[in-house]
Amino acid sequence: MPLATDPLSPETMSDSTLPCGRTSSRPLFSLKTVSRLLTVASLMTAAASAWAAPLRICADPDNLPFSKSEGAQRGLYVDAAELIGRELKRPVEYVWWQTFNQRRALRNTILANACDAVIALPATAEYKVRGVKKSQPFMELTYALVAPPSFRFESMEDLRGKQVGVQFGTTPHIFVNTAEGVRSTTFRTSDELLQALSRGEIEAALLWGPVAGYENKSRFDSRWKVTPIAGPDFASQVVIGVRSDQPNLAAEIDRALVTLKSELATLAQQYGFPTGPAIALDPKWREPVPVAVAPATVVATAPTAQPVSDDAAARAGRVRFNSQCSHCHGTDSITALRERDLRRLKSRNDDRWPEVALTTIREGRPEKGMPTWKDALKEDQIQEIISFLRTIQK
């Protein structure tokens, strides 16, 4: 699924639904009856909207940038809840509960019928809560690299030899401490981490993107560049959890989320969440890139000779692929999702496959979530990726 901030995702704006009580243009009844019906209908409408059951949302009272029970900035989830309430034409009420113990929080809020929906829960299929139905994913949250704008970060190679700060117990903490060539310093809190960056004790910091972006914007005058990091370990989608006994609400919320897609993206930007192309941190990055070898199935009588520089191109292409593409296609395009498995390009398209790949990379497949890359990648960079793809065809 493309990032919420992907500018290429289709924007859908549904028409707001008409209030009930609107009659058709051809009167079926006498004018008197119609006006009486209208009066009754509009009274009902007024009454309906007057007593529309509040939408009760559970959230953490002290969890900026996501939610806060008081203060000028209420947090992205609270703002999102207001938008959803507007779409559903229901006032929103909040049930506050600290979420550091998520099981207890769920048990005491949504599962105790104290609220109707909780924002937000992990989208991952492994995460299940009995009694809670998950909406469609509405946002992707990622880790991010925070660094001065002058710090070059186009791939994980750029971290080699640099002093990188990480927060204890986070995925990047594990990543940099198991990767060769990255000097890391560990801090207990995100605040200590950003202060160290401020003082120049570290050259870059890896921490949770929403926190990084929000702090950068609100406390550090947006002095840093915050780059999102992609990859299964570093990015995760979130959903809204709805009580299973409210299937109508779940469907309504799903519809509202589609409607609100761009407004949610705007909110994320307002809160400083990292935007822009994500860099993938491949846990295998420290392994030497193998010399490009033509797979055994390649027909030796292919008329076009391999370019002399193919090895170097494939190497570069692999690095770029694993940086830009692997978060959907998998590292080295090893994925269980057949439709994304680019090792099958040749078996699907025969000898036309490099053409197909070229076109698809340039133009994208927006309806399927594949972004358009022709503006983001130079032509020779796309060719390098294809050189790499050549080495992995089945």
Partner 1 sequence: MRQKLTVAALGLAFGLSTSAYAASDNWPSYGGDSGNTRFSTAKQINTTNVSKLKVAWALALGSTRSQESTPILVGDMLVVTSSFGPKNTYAVDARTGEMRWSYQPDIPAGIEQFACCDVNNRGVAHADGKIFLGRLDAHIVALDAKTGKELWKTKIVDYTQGSVITSPPTIAKGLVITGYGGGEYGARGSLVALDQATGKEVWRTYTVPAAGEPGSETWKGDSAKLGGAVAWAIGSYDPKLNLVYYGTSNPAPWAAAVRGNDSSDVGKYTNLYSASVLALNADTGKMAWHYQFTPHDAWDYDGVNELVFADLPIDGKKTPVIMQANRNGFFYVIDRANGKLLSAKPFVESTNWATGIDLKTGLPIEAPGNVKRPGLKRNAKDVCPNLLGGKNWMPMSYSEQTGLVYIPAQNLCMDMEGIQEDYKRGSFYLSVNFDLTKPAPGGYLSAMKAWDPVAQKAVWVNKDTNYWPGGAVSTAGGLVFHGDLKGHFKALDAKTGKELWKFSTGSGVAAGPMTYVLDGKQYVAVVSGRTQTIPAFLGPIGEKMVAASPEGGTMFVFSLN
Q: Which is nearer to partner 1, 186 or 244 (CB)?
A: 186
Cβ-based nearer residue to partner 1, 235 or 325: 235
Report the nearest approach of partner 1 to the CB of residue 181 (Å): 12
DSSP 296-307: TTS-TT-SSPPP
- Shortest separation between residue 50's beta carbon and partner 1, angstroms: 34
Question: Which residue is listed with tokens 């008081």?
Answer: 70
User: Which of residues 173 and 243 has its CB atom nearest to partner 1 in the complex?
Assistant: 173
Q: Is 213 exposed, middle or buried (0-12, 13-18, 19+ CB in 10 A)?
A: buried
Q: Closest CB to partner 1 among 84 and 357?
A: 84
Which is closer to partner 1, CB of 105 or CB of 345?
105
Q: Which is nearer to partner 1, 194 or 370 (CB)?
A: 194
Residue 202 makes CB contacts below 8 A (sequence gap 6+) with 163, 164, 165, 185, 193, 196
Q: Which secondary structure element, helix H or strand E, spans residue 137, and what is its range?
A: none
What's the closest the beta carbon of residue 370 comes to partner 1, in angstroms?
25
Please state the closest distance from residue 84 (CB atom) to partner 1, in A: 16
Q: Closest separation between CB of residue 283 and partner 1, Å?
A: 8
Q: Which is nearer to partner 1, 186 or 198 (CB)?
A: 186
- The least CB distance from residue 71 to partner 1, in Å, is 16
Q: What's the per-residue H, E or C state across the chain?
A: CCCCCCCCCCCCCCCCCCCCCCCCCCCCCCHHHHHHHHHHHHHHHHHHHHCCCCEEEEECCEECCCEECCCCCCCHHHHHHHHHHHHHCCCEEEEECCCCCHHHHHHHCHHHCCCCEEEEEECCCCCCCCCEEECCCCEEEEEEEEECCCCCCCCHHHHCCCEEEEECCCHHHHHHHCCCCCEEEEECCHHHHHHHHHCCCCCEEEEEHHHHHHHHHHHCCCCCEEEEEECCCCEEEEEEEEECCCHHHHHHHHHHHHHCHHHHHHHHHHCCCCCCCCEECCCCCCCCCCCCCCCCCCCCCCCCCCCCCHHHHHHHHHHHHHHHCHHHHCHHHCCCCHHHCHHHHHHHHHHHHHHHHHHHHHHCEHHHCECCCCCCCCHHHHHHHHHHHHCCCC
Q: Which is nearer to partner 1, 123 or 386 (CB)?
A: 123
Least distance to partner 1 from the beta carbon of 280, Å? Answer: 17
Cβ proximity to partner 1, 45 vs 108, nearer residue: 108
Shortest distance, CB of residue 271 to partner 1, whole angstroms? Answer: 10
- Give the footprint of partner 1 on this chain (CB under 8 A): 60, 63, 65-66, 76-77, 98-105, 120-122, 127, 141, 168-171, 173-174, 177-178, 184-186, 188, 208, 210-211, 236, 238
Q: How far is the CB of 341 from partner 1 (least distance, A)?
A: 21
**148, two tokens:** 């001065």
Compare residues 29 and 168 and give the one whose CB is closer to partner 1.
168
Q: How far is the CB of 211 from partner 1 (least distance, A)?
A: 6
